[in-house]
Structure 1
Amino acid sequence: MNLITTHLTRLLLSSTLLLSTTALAEQMISDGRYEIHYNAFNSSFITPEVAQLNNITRSKYRALVNVSVLKFEEDGSKTPVTAIVNGQVANLLGQAQQMEFQKIDEGNALYYIGSFRFTEEERLKISLEVQPDPNESPYNIEFEQTFYTD
């Protein structure tokens, strides 16, 4: 794959993730040191080309969790930073799936993508541990969302 195609594909993935973030209510926590953005959406929202490039499985029964961490700099700017990201998804019966997150580094953007399966109109509890500093405790994030097949 040539360099132009690689950059266009990454731009498309970034745009897709950005659009999915704005399509849902913004989900973010901040403590003055870090800002952690997160959201979940159907994997079919990304194009087949982007999915293939990033080894992401698309399915009407599979969703993605997107996590990005920004560090507040002294000048007020924000810089993407690496983090240790773990998570699980549980249904109302308590049946849980562990998610493995893959890091996607685009230079000026850095995010982590995890995936999981769901059934039609399933309400799931998503639990995340996000640890920007390995010497400090992780941030615990929990949210619930209902997923629909498309």
Structure 2
Amino acid sequence: MALLRTLTHLGSALILSLLAVSANAEQSISDGKYEIHYNAFNSTFVTPEVAQQYNLTRSSVRALVNVTVLKIGDDGSKTPVRAQVRGQAANLLQQAQQLEFQLIDEGQALYYIGSFRFTEEEKQIITLDVQPDANAQPYNIQFEQTFYTN
């Protein structure tokens, strides 16, 4: 929740849009060195203005995956850092779509946004490889989510 408070104070359109849809759905992992926040949601939850500003496609059959990486300082402070982010979304028939992430840099916040198509009430298995340190192994994240058209 500290991340949510920090990001809310930044006040940008994208941050507010992403927080509005992710407040209850946020997921994260932490190893004491890095904290990785990730979530997925229907692209129509992003306002048309924000979608246009960041060149995101809004569609009732398109989902967005959002990844943020924070480096944890010795004092417990958290700083957004760049990372190599790769991933895929696969349905239960193992039909996979590679996710191509774009970096959105808002100064005090960094987001990696990828998208994929889905059909009504389709469960997707989302697999992410997040590598904030080029000299270390990536963090492997996997989660499942069912998506619904609006």
Q: TM-score of the superposition, structure 1-length normalised? A: 0.91
Structure 2 residue 38 is the aligned partner of structure 1 residue 31: no
Match of 2:131 in 1: 131
Listed as ranges, the gaps of 5+ residues in structure 2 are 1-10
Match of 2:73 in 1: 73
* 2:42 partner letter: N
Separation in 2 of the partners of 1:135 and 1:55? Answer: 32
**What per-residue deviation string (whole Å, max 9, x for no partner) do you get for residues 32-78 of structure 1?**
00000000000000111111111100000000000000000122100
**Secondary structure at the residue paired with 2:94?**
coil
Separation in 2 of the partners of 1:75 and 1:112? Answer: 26
Match of 1:60 in 2: 60
Separation in 1 of the partners of 2:28 and 2:100? Answer: 21
Q: CA deviation at 1:21?
A: 1.6
Separation in 2 of the partners of 1:23 and 1:136? Answer: 31
Separation in 2 of the partners of 1:126 and 1:101? Answer: 13
Separation in 2 of the partners of 1:38 and 1:76? Answer: 20
Q: CA deviation at 1:20?
A: 1.6
Q: CA deviation at 1:103?
A: 0.3
Q: CA deviation at 1:89?
A: 0.4
Separation in 2 of the partners of 1:71 and 1:18? Answer: 20
Match of 2:3 in 1: none
Q: CA deviation at 1:18?
A: 1.3
Separation in 1 of the partners of 2:143 and 2:72? Answer: 24
Structure 2 residue 8 is the aligned partner of structure 1 residue 14: no
Percent identity between the two aligned chains: 69
Separation in 2 of the partners of 1:125 and 1:72? Answer: 28
Separation in 2 of the partners of 1:32 and 1:21? Answer: 23
* 2:12 partner letter: L
Separation in 2 of the partners of 1:107 and 1:45? Answer: 23
Give the root-mean-square deviation of aligned CA atoms.
0.9
Separation in 1 of the partners of 2:123 and 2:76? Answer: 38
